[in-house]
Amino acid sequence: MMAAAESPWLDEREQRAWRGFLDMHALVNRSLASQLQRDTDVSLADYAVLVTLTESDEGQLRSFAIAESLQWEASRLSHQLRRMRARGLVERRPCPEDRRGINVAITPAGREAIDAAAPLHVAEVRRVFIDHLDDTHLDALADAADRVRGVPTDAAPAT
């Protein structure tokens, strides 16, 4: 018999879920990215940063706070902010409490860009993702995501 806890390869069910997951993400991601590029002035990466900033009280956050919120590396964020700054979407402000730090603030142009992009983006998220799924699938997907990410949703007594 084969070793039980080993991983020779994925069986059919596992393969279907795994490949399906990857392909679904690739499709959805491509759709969203090309829709933003076609219809707006922001990329997916821009969008993520701008949403994070607009959801803050002052429209302004420390770099590390953005990075933590998006689960991005500091370096990735730094590069992204440089590009966004060059296009006038965000600006830097000194940080009084810690002179190593930077406050990143959304500019009026940044607000215009995200306000224009958001409804189109949400519509596309619905079109390519949400609209294909009923509540059962949505919940199952969210549950799966919680498990994979190690979020202790509701029932998880064991181990």
Partner DNA sequence: CGCAAATAGTTGACGTATCATGCAGTTCGC
Partner DNA sequence: GCGAACTGCATGATACGTCAACTATTTGCG
Q: Residues in the site for a second copy, rule: CB under 8 A?
A: 7-10, 13-14, 16-18, 20-21, 23-28, 71, 119, 122-123, 125-126, 128-130, 132-133, 135-150
**Cα separations (Å) of 147 from 69, 107, 153, 156?**
20, 38, 8, 9
Q: How many residues does the chain have?
A: 159
Kindly identify the residues of this chain, within the stretch 67-96, that bind DNA according to CB under 7 A.
67, 72-83, 92, 95
Tokens (6 digits) for 67: 């990075």
From 27, 17, 19, 22, select the one nearest 129 (Cα to Cα).
27
> Around 158, how many Cα atoms within 13 Å sit in the side-chain half-sphere?
0
Instruction: For residue 113, give the DSSP letter.
Output: H
Draw the binding track, 33-72, toward DNA (x: CB under 7 A; -: no contact): xx--x-----xxxx---------------xxx--x----x
Tell me whether residue 15 or residue 34 sits nearer to DNA (CB atom): 34
Residues that bind DNA (CB under 7 A): 30, 33-34, 37, 43-46, 62-64, 67, 72-83, 92, 95, 98-102
